Structure 1
Amino acid sequence: MKHQLSAIALGIVLAYGAGSALAYDTTTVTQGGSGNTASASQIGNNAPDDGGAVITIDQGGNSNTASVSQTGITSYGHGNVYEAGDSNAVAIAQTNDYRTGADVQDWGNNNVTTVTQTNVSGGAAGAYQNGSNSTASIYQHDGSNLSAMINAVSPWGGHGAYNTSAITQTGNDQNATIEQANGVWPGTASIGSLAAIDQSGGFDDATITQPGSYNTAYVTQVGNGGSAPAKNTATVNQPGDANFANVSQVGSSLMADVEQSGSHNTAYSTQTGPTGDVSITQSLDWNQAYVTQINYGSGLNTAGVLQSGSSNLANVTQNGNSFTASVAQGGNGNVATVWQHF
């Protein structure tokens, strides 16, 4: 009988506030091989501004598990996990921290990444995946000045198919970016991937980019923005065919921008509240655009649909006060419908 041994690495670092002998801590775990487990925890650390309170886990192989926990880091804590292989699982949890960062890099297939930041001020989280059938989720709750990115800045990340990326943020001044297949190399378009951003709060910005086909994007925002350019803003860019985008916004001072360059694409934008702007641009043929705006308060709401091609459908529904609608279609066999009701 053949037995496979798994290595278990556990790093626990405790600091007891400012002025203690342990001003900041660093934990590093490196595991080469498969079937390994690494766990590291830091609690109550007063880190300096030069980047103390750092946990780094580096695993090479398949079916590995990495867990990072940081609680009460008063300044500049960092959790970093690097995976090279398939079927790996990563979890980073950061709670009651200030200016805390999380960074996960997964090179392989069927990997799962989860980052959770709770009551974090000035927090940033990034997940970068290069492979297929992988899932990345970032949850940021009850914080402010938050930033979350999935495959957004890594020049090698985001290549593959059938990936799932999700960002959830509650608080104010939030920024969320998902990029699946960033197109740096030829042939890196995404196929059948799902991206979802859910933001609750004010002054939020969400961006999803999905070049390829059969991709799905959801953006949900609940809260109020400010005067331009500080509106709650949702942007979806899908170059390719047979893609689907749905943007739903509730609040005031809202902006939605959906661009789909290809055929057989579908875009929905729904806004409930005053001072909303919607822009949907679709090129080529057999595309569909649906805009719904509801406003029974003050403030002008505008909707614009631009379709260049044939056999396209545009539907704009506006209920309430103070609306303008514009539909421009170039080509043959197009249908445009606009309803404005009080």
Structure 2
Amino acid sequence: MTTRFTSLTIESPDDLIFGHAPSPVQITPEIVAGGGETLPELNYTLPHGAELNAARLDQVRNTYRQMAAGALQRAVELEIPRCVIEIELVFEMTLNPAWGEAIIRDTREVIEEYKAQGVHTALRATIADIRDRTRPPRNRSSEETALVLESFERCAPHADILSIESTGGKEVSDEALLMCDIGGGTFALGWLGSNDMEFLWSRIVEIAKKHGKVAGATRPAASLIPRCNLRGSAWCRKCWRRWCAPWARRVRWWPWNAVRGVRTRTAPMKARCSRPSPAFPLPWKANRRPAPTPATSAMWPCAAAICGATNPHPMRSCSAGLRRRSAWKNSGTTAN
């Protein structure tokens, strides 16, 4: 049975309080999410570039044990009574469900060891969604789909929370992102991603109930993460300098200022006076303008349009922006 929500459970922003929820969730006998306590959640994975294969599996398992033990030992020293550890399985761990199960089981053993020292820890297992390994993906009937569900079954006995970052609609949203196609991005996230999450959610809940665990969440994060990666890449910095930054110097509004009367959020003075950097491409002379925070996407015209903001000077495409920039250069006009 499908439940339709037509209103927000928390209607007032003033009621959004860390550690409080209208319906608290009992994760373990010692840990309640939303019951008045803010729980620190630690997420870690293999170092960048590390290989995972059958020959190195024992070494990888030992690495995960050391990471869990190091984190919980620190919790003991800081006298943190309750926390959450999230293990995001990498691609190979879902492709070989037994590997992911071994990692989750090893982490559970470390958690049980530190429980005697007064640290109660919940374990979240986030399964890697490998269904988009082939394009176009068959998200409901492929071999990869079966491996994803098998990974949930294998990890459920050792984890407390089951989650996934789904890839539904990613094959459309990736291209839409690069082409500044707002309609394509909206269709990918609003329709394809939502339908895929509904498909996955029903199966995750079924597995969680069977093992007495908590179905954590599913979201099309795999479609959103490329925006973060693209924003920090060389291509995006080039894109920012060519058409986002010059345009930003002429426009006084930002995506989060879509509601009239809301005060535009500004970054600290040091950040607003900073020069563009690979990690944080601020617009030039940003100390004169409301500076973007890390929540801002370099492709903010797309985000603004989806949020419903009204742009008095619409930029219809990247090519249009480049043409404007070229016209400014040829005219000798300097943007201030």
| TM category, shorter | under 0.3
Bigger RCO of structures 1 and 2 (CA < 8 A, at least 6 apart): 2
Q: TM-score, normalised by structure 1?
A: 0.23
Q: TM-score, normalised by structure 2?
A: 0.23
Query: Of Structure 1 and Structure 2, which has the larger fraction of its residues in helix?
Result: 2
